[in-house]
Structures are given as structure tokens and as C-alpha cells.
Amino acid sequence: MRQEALPPAAAIDYLKEILREILDRPLAGSSNSEFFPLKDTLNIWLVTGVNGAGKTTTIGKLAHMAHQSGYRCLIAAADTFRAAAVEQVKIWAERSDTPVISNPGKNTDPAAVVYDGIAAAQARQAELLLVDTAGRLQNKKNLMDELSKIRRIIDKNAPGAQIESLLVLDATLGQNGLRQAEVFSQAAQLSGAILTKLDGTAKGGVALAVAQQLNLPIRFIGAGEGIEDLRPFSSYEFVEALLNG
């Protein structure tokens, strides 16, 4: 632009192309660029993130989407930290008739719930097991270790499953999200991110940093508190909204 090598409109188009390329690069060589669970296979989606990012809400929306698309879906309520967490995820699950695996005890080991969830999913031939986890700050080592343990349980007990480890990122937190993503990436072996709260003023620029620096694809965006307010991520739509909005 400075060299006036291109007229302004063409320069904007070129910039959009560069941004789309950054967002799509983590998908290079992957067959699953349209993100959906594989049919007739157990898919396990581990959903993680800091407190209040929108994990449980997103799980409710994903269960709804899966139900509507004809998948046999199950939720493991592995947020055993907050008393009301299991109730919250059950209310969401009821809306899409999705069974919830939980442990009625107090402060139980979340990895044990995940273990039970995998066993139930295998017994019922479920195709998608959504794992809700407790919110945790990335600087709390014991909680991040607990997350690593959950991940190990999944790897060990569901060796044939298609595993996705998804970080839920609150778009309003800006570049703080990048540091979170780095730490979660190590603990949970992240394979993608979900950006929430894009219905507010946040534009979600952190998506670019997450894609570029951590090589993680953005898989869904949340744009509201309702059950339908989740959409598959499109780099085209995202960049248009980023630069035109």
C-alpha cells in the first residue's frame, strides 16, 4: 500500500487473501477441512479452556448440531469442580435428548468420569463423545496436570477413536488467548480451537495468532447464547467480517 503498487481496493483484496491463507494453513494436507465427526466411528472431542470461556454452552450447541445431523452423541460431564456444572450440562443435553455420563459424588476425579464416558460410548456404539471439563487458568499447574491426565486416559482407553482436542477461546479476551492456547496445547495436545462471543464487539483477531503461531485451525465460532448460535468456521466469512465490519 505504501509503495502504491496496487490501487487501494486491490490492496485490500490482497490483504484478505493473506489473512485467509494464515487461517487455512493449519489445514494444509488435512482431509478433514470441513470439520465433522466421522460416521460409524467413535469420535471424542475434548473441550477445554479457561473459566467462563463458553465450554459448556458450546457442548450444548454441538450436541444439538450432532443430534440434528443424526449422530449418536453422548456427553461426559467431567467438570466435577463446580457443584452446579453437571446440572448445567444436563440442562443443555436435555434440549437435544443427549445422554450425560456423570458421577454423583462430590469433587470426584474428572478422569474417572471420562473413563466411564468412554466405556459407555463404546458399549452404546456412540459416534460422538463430548467431554466437558472444568474451567482452569493456564498458570495453575495442578489443574493443567489434571487435564493432561484426562488426555492420557482418552488416548489409553480409546485407541481406535478419532480424537479432537478443542480449546474454547473467548474472543473478547484478545491476545491473552494466545498464551492460554500455548499452555493448553501442551497439556491437552490441542488439535483446534473454537472462538466464542463473536456476537459482541470483539472481532476475534486472536484467531490469526492461534493459527499462525500454534498452527491450530479454528473449527467453530460461537455467536450468541442460544442453542443454534454455533457455526462452522469459514476463513472467508471471518476475514470479510474482520475487515468490513
Ligand X SMILES: Nc1nc2c(ncn2[C@@H]2O[C@H](COP(=O)(O)OP(=O)(O)OP(=O)(O)O)[C@@H](O)[C@H]2O)c(=O)[nH]1
Count CA atoms within 13 Å of residue 48 on its CB side: 32
Our finding on whether 138 is near Mg ion (CB under 5 A) is no
19, 26, 27, 57: residue in contact with ligand X (rule CB under 6 A): 57
Q: Which does 224 bind (CB under 5 to 8 A by kind): Mg ion, ligand X, none?
A: ligand X
Inter-helix orientation angle 176-188/141-157, to 10°: 40
| 31 contacts: CB under 8 Å, gap ≥ 6 | none
Name which of 238, 232, 237 is nearest 220 in CA terms: 232
199, 203, 205, 212: residue in contact with ligand X (rule CB under 6 A): 199
Report how many residues bind ligand X under the rule CB under 6 A: 21
The stretches of the chain forming alpha helices (DSSP H) are: 8-24, 55-68, 85-94, 110-123, 141-157, 176-188, 206-214, 235-244
| Nearer to ligand X among residue 182 and residue 199 (C-beta) | 199
Query: CA–CA separation, 68 vs 53, rounded Å?
Result: 25
23, 42, 48, 55: residue in contact with ligand X (rule CB under 6 A): 55
Our finding on whether 79 is near ligand X (CB under 6 A) is yes
Q: Please list every residue from 156 through 175 that binds ligand X, using CB under 6 A.
A: 168
Question: Taking the complex as a whole, how short is the minimal distance between the CB of residue 93 and ligand X, in angstroms?
Answer: 13
Other beta carbons less than 10 A from residue 107's beta carbon:
9
Q: Which does 188 bind (CB under 5 to 8 A by kind): Mg ion, ligand X, none?
A: none
Question: Taking the complex as a whole, how short is the minimal distance between the CB of residue 157 and Mg ion, in angstroms?
Answer: 23
Q: Please list every residue from 42 through 71 that binds Mg ion, using CB under 5 A.
A: 55-56
Q: In what order do the strands lie in the sheet with 230-232?
A: 100-101, 73-78, 128-133, 43-48, 162-170, 192-196, 218-222, 230-232
110, 135, 177, 192: residue in contact with ligand X (rule CB under 6 A): 135
| Nearer to ligand X among residue 225 and residue 237 (C-beta) | 225
**Can you count the helices (H) and strands (E) in the chain?**
8, 8
| Nearer to Mg ion among residue 55 and residue 64 (C-beta) | 55
Our finding on whether 48 is near ligand X (CB under 6 A) is no
Question: Taking the complex as a whole, how short is the minimal distance between the CB of residue 51 and ligand X, in angstroms?
Answer: 4
| 167 contacts: CB under 8 Å, gap ≥ 6 | 48, 49, 180, 181, 184, 185, 188, 190, 192, 193, 194, 216
Residue ranges in contact with Mg ion by CB under 5 A: 55-56
Residue ranges in contact with ligand X by CB under 6 A: 49, 51-57, 79, 85, 135, 168, 196-197, 199-200, 222-225, 229
